[in-house]
């Protein structure tokens, strides 16, 4: 098997889970889910059929990853954060054919109790603050806070705030790693 599943968890037949992954108490993984290596699914996590999860993803307690969500490698989902897959749900109206895809790029952090409205893309290494509501695409390395979320600044791959303006041009180094970041025309990139 190569991964561990707590006895209280349910992993439906057909689900694929990578080596070294851990599935904790009261988790339900649906049969169509694809989960990478070295992932951690905390207590009371739900993973739908049409879900793709990369390697080294951490999903904290009480998170439901619904159909049409893709999490790339190294994504962090904080406790009780929320994904949606229908933009305008009604109990009496079936909209399963209207799911909007959500993509969370490599290394992004989704803070505790944040909400990601379906149909959005979260850029690589973006940092979504606790309780924020994301209702539009988020640039790579962006720090987002509030309801609805607004950009407050930029974050390094290590998770440190970068002293860069919100728009325009600039350069900064991560205070922890020394990696250099460049802001050009409002787009932040890591210099290689």
Task: Compute the average pLDDT of residues 148-167.
Answer: 97
- Per-residue confidence (pLDDT) for residue 23, from 0 to 100: 98
d(CA 27, CA 183): 41
Cis omega before residue 148 (within 30°)? yes
pLDDT tens string 8-65: 999 999 999 999 999 999 999 999 999 999 999 999 999 999 999 999 999 999 999 9
Give the pairing type, strands 187-190 and 150-155. Answer: unpaired
Strands (E), 34-135: 34-35, 40-41, 46-47, 51-53, 58-59, 64-65, 69-71, 76-77, 82-83, 102-104, 109-110, 115-116, 121-122, 127-128, 133-134
pLDDT tens string 79-137: 999 999 999 999 999 999 999 999 999 999 999 999 999 999 999 999 999 999 999 99
- Per-residue confidence (pLDDT) for residue 1, from 0 to 100: 67
DSSP 32-59: T-EE-TT-EE-TT-EE-SSEEE-TT-EE
Residue 175, Cα to own-chain centre: how many angstroms?
A: 24
- Per-residue confidence (pLDDT) for residue 192, from 0 to 100: 80
pTM of the predicted model, to two decimals? 0.96
Q: How many CA atoms lie within 13 A of 83 on its CB side?
A: 30
């Amino acid at each position: 098997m190569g991964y561990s599943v707590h006895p209280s968890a349910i992993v439906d037949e057909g689900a694929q889970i990578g080596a070294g992954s851990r599935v904790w108490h009261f988790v339900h993984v649906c049969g169509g889910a694809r989960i990478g290596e070295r992932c951690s699914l905390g207590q009371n996590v739900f993973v739908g059929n049409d879900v793709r999860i990369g390697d080294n993803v951490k999903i904290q307690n009480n998170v439901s990853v619904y159909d049409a969500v893709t999490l790339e490698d190294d994504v962090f989902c904080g406790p009780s954060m929320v994904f949606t897959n229908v933009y305008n749900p009604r109990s009496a109206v079936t909209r399963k054919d209207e799911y909007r895809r959500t993509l969370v790029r490599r290394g992004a952090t989704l803070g505790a109790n944040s909400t990601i409205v379906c149909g959005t893309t979260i850029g690589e290494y973006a940092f979504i603050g606790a309780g924020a509501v994301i209702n539009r695409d988020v640039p790579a390395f962006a720090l987002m806070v509030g309801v609805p979320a607004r950009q407050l600044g930029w974050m390094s791959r290590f998770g440190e705030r970068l002293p860069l303006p919100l728009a325009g041009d600039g350069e900064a180094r991560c205070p922890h790693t020394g990696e250099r970041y460049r802001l050009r025309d409002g787009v932040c990139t890591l210099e290689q």
